[in-house]
Structure 1
Amino acid sequence: MSDQNDSEHAARLRRDALFSGASGKPLARLVGSLRTVEFAAGEVLCARNAAAKFLYLIESGELQLATPAGRVVALTDQRCGEEAASDMASYLCDVTAITPGRAIQIPREALAELAAADPSLRSRALLGLMGYVGGEPFLKPAASKRKPLLPLSPREIAGWTSVVIVPPAIYFLAGMAGLVVEAALFLAILSGTVLMWLFTLADEFIPPLIAIVAVLIVGLVPPDVALAGFSSRTLTTLLGVYALAAVIASSGLSYRFMLWLLIRLPDTPFWHQAALLLSGYILSPIMPSGNARLSLVLPFYKDMVEGLNLPAQSRAATALMAAAFSGTVLFSPMFLTSKSSNLMVFGMLPTQLQNQFQGAFWFVAAGVAALTVTAAHLLVTRLYFGAPTAGAPLPKPRLARQLALLGPMTGAEKAALIGFLFFLVGATTASLHQISPAWIAAFLLVGLLLLGLLSKQDFQQKIDWPMIFFLLSLDGLSRAITYLGLDTALAQGVGSAFDFVGGRMAVFIPVALAVTLMLRLVLPVTAGMVVAAVVLVPIAQAQFINPWVVVFLTAMFSDIWFMPYQSSQYLQVLGSGLGQYCRRAEFLLYNHWMNLARILAAYLSIPYWEWLGLV
């Protein structure tokens, strides 16, 4: 035996089709485990049914492979013992040396470590074995995983140029406007974040993280303000709900429920869409997060699309996505507890109004708007995606057989159902037992982990960590705005500019719309609504307009979005991979119609609010 130079080993590995795709750290670790062996004529390197301990790369000499069917293959400058790189515990073929030679010996343990980094290695090894048996080389060299460095596109050049130029300009302009240094610096950082979103220079969750780090490095706000989202109840709520959604999907409960639902519902697209729409509506008053509601509805959407055999990118699949999405979003302004920003702004109302709107009266006052957006959704879906008439009849007998084949509910399904009911009942009755839904979600998460329903791998892969970091980073930026007093400064700066409203509700609505939309261009939903309410409530009070109407309008208008980065729910759909089922262009056009529906809902509510004595 003799050792070869590591660079020669690496070159030999790269020449072989089995390892041609390996590079970097996995290849370096593999080279450290190699050794050169010499064999004599007649020596058996691999014996059928013996433990597959090594794979050999032949450097010189001739070997002969005999398959179980008796086929004999001559091996020269190839490899043998691919079983060691696959899931096979023993060799399937005999390999014997015809002449003396030399080979690189690779232990099974090193191959298993490489397969952990490149799972396709096992399947490629089996393809190599199939080539010997079938007489045809099935294994082809793997494509290189290294991505070539591409020149920046015009959009990226414009984006990075803006990121370099605009923030310093905003800093100097803010200083000239009389803002303190801390506020000017924060506006500069925030402008860079928005520009990275606008030009899509990085994944959506990266810019707010960069902004949080920059704020902490400069020392604009204390860490307990900038990182407040990561220590808030929002984190436990999101973790618990995402974990529950993962268990509902992986246990098969969502598939079983969807089969049961499709069998019992009338076989029309209208009822299929209505089931998803109403699911989101039911969750709205008990879950103050649209992302959390969507995470529970999306598994049902996926199983419904597959159960109905809807083609990807079809109008029917897109209409179902519109129903699932709108079910979790449209009712966000309709309940006090449907949106975390509703609860935040609720404290701005006078005590008398807080007592009046704390219960069901919030939904009563929003009744016309709720009916309007629901009717608009049904109308736009019908006109844009086509009349909800079924094509081929749904094979309900086949669905019944599929449901019967599932058998009784498994332990995992029962646990997922109990967990869902536990959270649903606990969140609904929070006013009675005074336990926050965040703590209920935390108990649920601990229970799922202790019962083994959510493994370590599931915890890493099935929880949407980028979305969680995105939402919590936005929460930190929102708190920083309040800490620096930017919301108050904005309210004082524009307060006298709206005297033309004159107490007329029809004039105030476009003012509220314009203020909210302008803020939402640079701020997330929560911060956009809060800052808009801070600006508009004093203006409304000066115009003798009920402050609750202002809060409701900002809650509804803050859900209007045009760019993907403005909607964390839409980013959640794309991040989950379910965006492949629907036509994005048509879905975005549907969303623009629903934006107009929210404005219409505000105007149609004026006579109703007058009847209630609110305006």
Structure 2
Amino acid sequence: MPARREDELERLLRGVPFFRDLTSLDAARLVGALEETRFPAGSVIAEEGAAGDALYLIADGAVDISVRSPDGELSLRRVAAPGHFGELGMLLSRRTASSRAATDVVLWRLPRRRFEQLVRDRPSVGLTVAAALADELDRRSREHVGAPEPAPGAKPMTLEREPPRVSWRRRLLTTAICVAIPIALWEIAPPEGMSATGWRVALLLAAATAGWLLEPIADFAVALLLAAAWAATGLVPLATAFGGFATSSWLVSLGGLAVAGAMAQTGLVFRGALAMLRLFPPTGAGQILALVGGGVLFTPLVPQSAARVATIAPVAAELAQSLGYAPRSRGSAAIAFAGLAGYWFFSSIFLTGLATNFVLVQLLPTDLRLRFGWTGWLGAALPAGIVCLVGATAAIFLLFRPEPSPPGVAQVVRRQQHVLGPLTRAERVTLVAVAVLIGGLVQPFVAVDAAWWGVLALAVLMAGALDRERFRASIDWTFLLFLGPLQGFGDVGRAVGLDRWIADRLVALTAGLRDPLVIVVILGVVALASRIVLPSRPAMVLLMVAIVPAAPALGISPFVAGIVILLMANVWVLPYQGLEYLMTRDASRGEAFSDRQGTLFGAALTVVRFVAILASLPYWRALGLV
């Protein structure tokens, strides 16, 4: 499609009042959902009373709009290009008038489903729609009676929907259960070999675990209360309980999450995903490889899997439609799962792929922290990453081999890229911040703490990509508040001797297992089993806090213990277990794949992860890690 025609298409879209002020990113997403249709003169486009499933943009020709009356068909108006019609029918789910081609017409059809997705993702668009419709109704009424046009009024207030509330009875009950655990057992004699202080620290940790399971309040609030309880009861100093907020890993996570938020907000991830789609053949198989490959490329650049998946999931849903795949077909599921696997599955292969990875770094002894920087981490995890890449791709093609697809996806991607236009200043600044963060962590020449690179990347973003409001909105502050206390768990355990007690018990339990390789396998199974009851983040952190410090006594490296936990606790089989899975499913309102297909794919990926660990064991032994 020539650039001139693409410009005309964008102008058509922005000619709709409630799309006029869309960002380039949102406009590009909508352009990707447009479907070209043609009608000869005299053809009925939509009948009054029929389902209102789309908005139409008129690229060429004219359309007559009419309604039925007791005296027959009553003509309302003629809409000529460039114009639009069908907005009321789309909002009301039924056509309020009939439309007929007055001449040969070329239309671009925007499905109602895609419009609803935009409103869910950008609630402010809903207010813009309401204001635009009210303005249009007022204009038509005044035109009908010959009244003058009013002066432009003020913009409507921004309204926010109140989030759903948890039943107060359930909240009280679950809170009582959590509080009862330490109260009931506080004065009981500790197990043999454990100090009274260590016992009480463990009791409060058990209460927090119950809180993460029952969720009377948000997980980050549970973590903060746990640290506060340790300090308030005098078990550890306040500086130790909240020391995680002053760690290098927390500051790197702050910079990394800021970079991730900026890449998502500016559209860099979306732009990069489109570029990858253009590099591969415009077929189902080609686009699957593009999604998986693009995810591997972006995982180390955006250290937040939820942000990556939130960006790619709508792209994958639109791509499946462009390829002509029916809802929940093998092809549709393959495209959706390729985006999910590519942008989530490799989160622990790269140090900067997941902020939780820095919890493991903080738990490592000082010498191992230096060894397992960005390149050291990737070097140790590389065999597992290769197996995950081959295994995930094979699972998609074997379980959901896509049907042959019609041509057309290349044109859709090209239209979206054209609407995005050249790199904006904010995108260029964000690229500099990415280079500072990743380049600083990788380079071997300047020996400074990793925290400096995180803070420097944040400073670069604030210089040109994020203002104060976007800074607040782009960072997952709840995760950082959750991460801070968890980063200090290792120091708390060492301060009260809990790490030594756990190590002694684990050594006693595994005395009959002389091969460290067997211990690694058992650890993977335990991590997987923990996901039955715990969300992924608490499961990963609790197991790492318990196992990583004790790993040398078991004959394995703390890094190996941690990476096995990260790999096996961040999976799903049942739908409720996977946040990124649910995000992908909801991006298409459940139309891309069924939960049965999702369960099958989740089980396959879990097997792939386990095989990746088994395949890495000889390599880790050669490195002296087991």
TM-score, normalisation: structure 1: 0.62
Q: What's the CA shift for 1:443?
A: 1.7
Relative to structure 1, the CA distance from residue 129 to residue 494 in structure 2 (aligned partners, 3 Å threshold; closer, same or farther) is closer
1:59-458 alignment runs, 5 A limit: 123=130, 127=134, 130=137, 134=141, 159-160=174-175, 162-173=177-188, 175=190, 177=192, 179-279=194-294, 281-282=296-297, 291-292=303-304, 295=307, 298-300=310-312, 302-303=314-315, 305-306=317-318, 309=321, 315-316=333-334, 318-332=336-350, 339-341=357-359, 343-344=361-362, 347=365, 368-384=383-399, 386-389=400-403, 391-429=405-443, 431-451=444-464, 453-458=465-470
- Looking at structure 2, the residues matched to 194 and 338 of structure 1 have their Cα atoms a distance apart, in angstroms, of 17
1:601 paired residue number: 612
Relative to structure 1, the CA distance from residue 433 to residue 147 in structure 2 (aligned partners, 3 Å threshold; closer, same or farther) is closer
2:475 paired residue number: 463
Which residue identity is paired with 1:127?
A
Relative to structure 1, the CA distance from residue 195 to residue 476 in structure 2 (aligned partners, 3 Å threshold; closer, same or farther) is same
- Looking at structure 1, the residues matched to 163 and 466 of structure 2 have their Cα atoms a distance apart, in angstroms, of 34
Q: What's the CA shift for 1:458?
A: 0.9
Relative to structure 1, the CA distance from residue 444 to residue 570 in structure 2 (aligned partners, 3 Å threshold; closer, same or farther) is farther
- Looking at structure 2, the residues matched to 373 and 557 of structure 1 have their Cα atoms a distance apart, in angstroms, of 15
2:73 paired residue number: none
2:76 paired residue number: none
Q: What's the CA shift for 1:579?
A: 6.1
Relative to structure 1, the CA distance from residue 339 to residue 558 in structure 2 (aligned partners, 3 Å threshold; closer, same or farther) is closer
- Looking at structure 2, the residues matched to 438 and 283 of structure 1 have their Cα atoms a distance apart, in angstroms, of 21
1:560 paired residue number: 568
- Residues 509-535 of structure 1 show CA distances to partners (whole Å, capped at 9, x for unaligned) of 444335656788775534523531333
Relative to structure 1, the CA distance from residue 450 to residue 367 in structure 2 (aligned partners, 3 Å threshold; closer, same or farther) is closer
Q: What's the CA shift for 1:228?
A: 1.8
- Residues 148-191 of structure 1 show CA distances to partners (whole Å, capped at 9, x for unaligned) of 988667x7686445324333344355636564333232222222
Relative to structure 1, the CA distance from residue 393 to residue 120 in structure 2 (aligned partners, 3 Å threshold; closer, same or farther) is closer
Contact residue 241 and residue 295 of structure 1 kept, 8 A: no
Moved more, 363-372 or 373-382: 363-372
Q: What's the CA shift for 1:198?
A: 1.5
- Looking at structure 1, the residues matched to 268 and 506 of structure 2 have their Cα atoms a distance apart, in angstroms, of 53
- Looking at structure 2, the residues matched to 297 and 145 of structure 1 have their Cα atoms a distance apart, in angstroms, of 24
- Looking at structure 1, the residues matched to 268 and 254 of structure 2 have their Cα atoms a distance apart, in angstroms, of 20
2:484 paired residue number: 472
Q: What's the CA shift for 1:276?
A: 4.6
Contact residue 236 and residue 438 of structure 1 kept, 8 A: yes
- Looking at structure 1, the residues matched to 624 and 163 of structure 2 have their Cα atoms a distance apart, in angstroms, of 64
Contact residue 294 and residue 328 of structure 1 kept, 8 A: no
Which residue identity is paired with 2:499?
D
Relative to structure 1, the CA distance from residue 556 to residue 149 in structure 2 (aligned partners, 3 Å threshold; closer, same or farther) is closer
Contact residue 277 and residue 323 of structure 1 kept, 8 A: yes
SS in structure 1 opposite 2:405? coil
- Looking at structure 2, the residues matched to 468 and 614 of structure 1 have their Cα atoms a distance apart, in angstroms, of 30
1:28-43 alignment runs, 5 A limit: none
Q: What's the CA shift for 1:608?
A: 5.8
1:496 is aligned to 2:505? no
Relative to structure 1, the CA distance from residue 392 to residue 457 in structure 2 (aligned partners, 3 Å threshold; closer, same or farther) is farther
Identity of aligned residues (%): 21
Q: What's the CA shift for 1:444?
A: 2.3
Relative to structure 1, the CA distance from residue 312 to residue 425 in structure 2 (aligned partners, 3 Å threshold; closer, same or farther) is farther
Q: What's the CA shift for 1:489?
A: 0.9
- Looking at structure 1, the residues matched to 261 and 507 of structure 2 have their Cα atoms a distance apart, in angstroms, of 47
Q: What's the CA shift for 1:410?
A: 2.9
Which residue identity is paired with 1:208?
A
Moved more, 155-164 or 213-222: 155-164
Which residue identity is paired with 2:610?
I
Contact residue 242 and residue 488 of structure 2 kept, 8 A: yes
Which residue identity is paired with 1:238?
S
- Residues 72-115 of structure 1 show CA distances to partners (whole Å, capped at 9, x for unaligned) of xxxxxxxxxxxxxxxxxxxxxxxxxxxxxxxxxxxxxxxxxxxx
- Looking at structure 1, the residues matched to 287 and 413 of structure 2 have their Cα atoms a distance apart, in angstroms, of 15
Q: What's the CA shift for 1:319?
A: 0.3
- Looking at structure 1, the residues matched to 570 and 376 of structure 2 have their Cα atoms a distance apart, in angstroms, of 31
Contact residue 277 and residue 326 of structure 1 kept, 8 A: no
Relative to structure 1, the CA distance from residue 325 to residue 472 in structure 2 (aligned partners, 3 Å threshold; closer, same or farther) is farther
Q: What's the CA shift for 1:342?
A: 5.1
- Looking at structure 2, the residues matched to 561 and 322 of structure 1 have their Cα atoms a distance apart, in angstroms, of 17
In structure 1, runs of 5+ residues without a counterpart are 1-116, 137-142, 541-546
1:581 paired residue number: 587
Which residue identity is paired with 2:434?
F
Q: What's the CA shift for 1:491?
A: 1.2
The structure whose Rg is larger is 1
In structure 2, runs of 5+ residues without a counterpart are 1-123, 145-158
TM-score, normalisation: structure 2: 0.61
Q: What's the CA shift for 1:248?
A: 2.8
Contact residue 273 and residue 320 of structure 1 kept, 8 A: yes
SS in structure 2 opposite 1:433? coil
- Residues 291-347 of structure 1 show CA distances to partners (whole Å, capped at 9, x for unaligned) of 446646753555454566579986246403432344432515899x99435545653
- Looking at structure 1, the residues matched to 327 and 256 of structure 2 have their Cα atoms a distance apart, in angstroms, of 27
Relative to structure 1, the CA distance from residue 165 to residue 437 in structure 2 (aligned partners, 3 Å threshold; closer, same or farther) is closer
- Residues 53-83 of structure 1 show CA distances to partners (whole Å, capped at 9, x for unaligned) of xxxxxxxxxxxxxxxxxxxxxxxxxxxxxxx
Which residue identity is paired with 1:381?
I
Relative to structure 1, the CA distance from residue 600 to residue 309 in structure 2 (aligned partners, 3 Å threshold; closer, same or farther) is same
Moved more, 483-492 or 504-513: 504-513
- Looking at structure 1, the residues matched to 190 and 283 of structure 2 have their Cα atoms a distance apart, in angstroms, of 61
- Looking at structure 2, the residues matched to 248 and 490 of structure 1 have their Cα atoms a distance apart, in angstroms, of 41
- Looking at structure 1, the residues matched to 368 and 414 of structure 2 have their Cα atoms a distance apart, in angstroms, of 56
Contact residue 303 and residue 352 of structure 2 kept, 8 A: no
Relative to structure 1, the CA distance from residue 449 to residue 579 in structure 2 (aligned partners, 3 Å threshold; closer, same or farther) is farther
Contact residue 556 and residue 598 of structure 1 kept, 8 A: no
